[in-house]
Amino acid sequence: MLDFDTVKGHEDIIRVLKNSIVQKQVSHAYIFDGMEGVGKRTLAKAFAKSLQCEKGGAMPCGECESCRSFENGTNPDVFYIEREKKNMTVDIIREDITRRLETAPYSNKYKIFIVNEGDTMNEAAQNAFLKTLEEPPEYAVFIILCRNFARFIATVLSRCIIFKLHPLSYETVAEFVAKEKGIPLAEALVYAKYSSGSIGKALSFIDDEEFKEKREYAFSLVDNIEKASDINTVCLLSEDLSKRGDVSEIFDIIYMIYRDCLVYKATGSVKRLIQTEKKDFIVSLAKAKSYKSIANTADAIGDTLKRISYNADVKLVSESLFLKMKEK
């Protein structure tokens, strides 16, 4: 059953939301701002369900008519608003929100609108939405989900309560992911770190065979560059890489490898490595190099990524990077 306990992390926000329900000080509009997969939608649903529960407590009872219809996805007074094109247009605001607000809730206290990717509203849509926000009917509650609240015009922001959902701790993500997918915690921790604290992203990496292949390729590439004894081998490796369609992502992973080497070099411990299951490889790479050479390589990878984004020749830029990586 979905309730606030389903939400991972974000304890402070949950406390405020629960208090607002109990003290009957519910606002008309909320913005939940945060990266993809951090739990915005789950939190919005838990809040909406609690608001609609007939018992009126901080947690939904799970038994009343409203809670049951919510569970089935058939609550007549909760609406999920999605964009249809690149932007959320004024038509969606008028048709899916304003018009629905002309009538009172069907069987609940509120009419709740969970607006996904609200920051994709174009200016016309935001102005139309602002009109509703200025004089909302008593029963209207908007929960707007977005990744960048700075895209809203100031007059919209001033009428919303803004909550920033920060990335979750690696441990929180890993524990959830390990349980959900039945994988060892150490493995889950790697995905958690790659995801930068997003459960949604970490879960998507696990199911992504391509991502696994990319990682293996990146590690073996670094290994082969290290072992290469002549420039011809380095040229062949860069030629092979240039034939792939995902060069930037490979470089992202290589960057993570060198980032881990730097962390090991600085701390002398494997505790803070991102790629813990590859720690043997990372430790031996770090030991073979000076701190300065690793730091230079990390910088050079950043430069290479930039050049590739400007359409530089992949074979040429990777060749010069690989030669730099070979410096001790």
Binding site for Zn ion (CB under 5 A): 53, 60-61, 64, 67
Q: What is the smallest separation between the CB atom of 78 and Zn ion, expressed in angstroms?
A: 13
Question: Which class for 163: exposed (0-12), middle (13-18), buried (19 or more C-beta within 10 A)?
Answer: buried
With beta carbons less than 8 A apart as the criterion, state whether 219 and 309 touch: no
List for the chain the helix, strand, coil content (%; round to 5): 60, 10, 30
Nearer to Zn ion, 48 or 254 (CB): 48
Q: What is the smallest separation between the CB atom of 67 and Zn ion, expressed in angstroms?
A: 3
Nearer to Zn ion, 61 or 308 (CB): 61
> From residue 294, how far is each of 111, 254, 265, 285, 324 by CA, in Å?
57, 12, 9, 9, 10
Nearest CA to 131 among 96, 98, 104?
A: 98
Q: What is the smallest separation between the CB atom of 46 and Zn ion, expressed in angstroms?
A: 12
* Helix H or strand E encompassing 124: helix 123-134
Nearer to Zn ion, 21 or 67 (CB): 67
With beta carbons less than 8 A apart as the criterion, state whether 122 and 7 touch: no
With beta carbons less than 8 A apart as the criterion, state whether 126 and 92 touch: no
Q: Is the dihedral of CA 152, 155, 161, 164 positive or negative?
A: positive
Give the three-class secondary structure for 227: helix
Nearer to Zn ion, 67 or 145 (CB): 67
* Residues 6+ positions from 266 with CB-CB distance below 8 Å: 291
Q: Starting at the earlier edge strand, list the strands of the sheet with 29-33.
A: 78-81, 111-115, 140-146, 29-33, 161-164
Tokens at 295, concatenated: 């730091």
Nearer to Zn ion, 56 or 167 (CB): 56
Nearer to Zn ion, 61 or 101 (CB): 61
Q: What is the smallest separation between the CB atom of 107 and Zn ion, expressed in angstroms?
A: 12
With beta carbons less than 8 A apart as the criterion, state whether 237 and 247 touch: no
Q: What is the smallest separation between the CB atom of 17 and Zn ion, expressed in angstroms?
A: 16
Q: What is the smallest separation between the CB atom of 3 and Zn ion, expressed in angstroms?
A: 10
Q: What is the smallest separation between the CB atom of 205 and Zn ion, expressed in angstroms?
A: 36
Q: What is the smallest separation between the CB atom of 105 and Zn ion, expressed in angstroms?
A: 15
Nearer to Zn ion, 64 or 308 (CB): 64
